[in-house]
Amino acid sequence: MDRIPLVVAATDGSPEATAAVIEAADEAARRGAELEIVFAWEGSVHERYAGYREVLSDHVERIRREAADVARSRQPGIGTRSLVVHDAPVAGLLEVAKRADLLVVGSRGRGAVAGILLGSVSLALAARVPCPVLVVRSRVHPGRAVAVGVAGEESRRALERAFAEARARDVGVIAVHAWDYPEIPRALWEARGAESPYHRAEEFARRVLATVVSPLREANPRMPVEERVVRSGAAAALLSATRDAGLIVVGRHASPHHFGPRLGHATTALLHHAHAPLLVVPSDPPDGLGSWAAGTSRPEVG
């Protein structure tokens, strides 16, 4: 018997968490998956005071129940369950995510009762969770294209996921490749036209993107696909693309750091400022930890 996929949604009762639960319910419906809603909290030093633990437990139970009601109201046909995990938010969700196919969190949370979705928590989860992580802000724009950051062949897994998400939503794909080139006087590259180092570098960037996108474009002939080559940093290019997108997809590559797993500059910027939900797709093996920022191409041109 085939295993039923599992979507896990984190909640703390904040508006961002409610938006995450709604999007998680929609994701579960698209995938034929079950939905598990999790509230992770590790208690408080104040529990030693008479009645405090009872009041706190009632509050947590109410949030858990309300989140489950929101999900069932949104998608009554999916299997939904909810639970409370007595652990620190990051540790608790990392453990739950080991059996999930997708983790959905809000971009930030309430910050009360050992709040689960503080910005630092969503950042830590996006950097370390073994499954894809969908970070949801309060506004979701259905019907818009799926944008994806493409650095090169190392972005293939993220690109494949972007096409799959676009098929599930019946929308198109915007493939974004940022490239950079040392500043040179405008008169120099304009005077030589298409033979200038600038234009040769731009053409190289277009070939990089087209090479990676081509197999998926051919496999999805009816899907609208825009290849967007932008001369800028990756963060600026991808943030601009989120204004046109209903979802933005980026890859996360293994990159050991002495402070532990970290996200790159572009992905961190998207987590803070994107105008669409952000799906971070690990490109490393499921049991690995890593980080990645959508890269820019720096071609060698003579």
List, as one string, the DSSP characters of 90-139.
HHHHHHHHTT-SEEEEESS----SS-S--HHHHHHHHHH-SS-EEEE-S-
Do residue 33 and residue 155 come from a single domain?
no
Q: Are residues 152 and 286 in the same domain?
A: yes
pLDDT value at residue 255: 55
Structure tokens at 26: 């929609």
Is residue 163 located within the same domain as residue 281? yes
Same domain for 178 and 52, yes or no, is: no
124 and 200 co-located in one domain = no
Split into its structural domains, the chain has a count of 2
Q: Are residues 47 and 119 in the same domain?
A: yes
**Whole-angstrom distance, CA of residue 204 vs CA of residue 209:** 9
267 in the same domain as 181:
yes
Do both 14 and 73 map to the same domain? yes
Q: What is the pLDDT of residue 202?
A: 83
Which of 136, 164, 189 corresponds to the end of one domain? 136
Query: What 3-state DSSP class applies to 256?
Result: coil
Which of 136, 169, 196 lies at the terminal end of a domain, its last residue?
Answer: 136
On whether residue 231 sits in a domain, the answer given is yes
Identity at 288, one-letter amino acid code: G
With contact defined as beta carbons under 8 Å apart, do 197 and 184 qualify? Answer: yes
Residue 298 φ then ψ, to 5°: -125, 80
**Which helix (H) or strand (E) element contains residue 21?**
helix 15-31
How many C-alpha atoms does 159 have within 13 Å on its Cβ side? 27
| pLDDT reported for residue 218 | 96
**171 and 228 assigned to the same domain:** yes
Render each residue's pLDDT in the chain as its tens digit; 302 residues: 578 899 999 998 888 889 999 999 999 999 899 999 999 877 655 556 656 667 777 888 899 899 999 999 999 999 999 988 888 888 899 999 999 999 999 876 554 444 444 467 788 888 888 999 999 975 677 889 999 999 989 899 999 999 999 999 999 999 999 987 666 555 555 555 556 677 778 888 999 999 999 999 999 999 999 999 998 889 999 999 999 999 999 998 755 554 445 677 888 888 888 889 999 998 754 443 333 233 344 333 33
Q: Same structural domain for residues 163 and 125?
A: no
| Predicted model pTM | 0.82
Q: Which amino acid is residue 257, in one-letter code?
A: H
Domain range for residue 212?
145-297
**What's the CA gap between 160 and 296, in Å, rounded?**
19
The residues facing 147 across adjacent strands are 174, 248
**Residue 1 in domain:** no
**pLDDT at res. 212:** 95
Q: Do 227 and 114 belong to one domain?
A: no
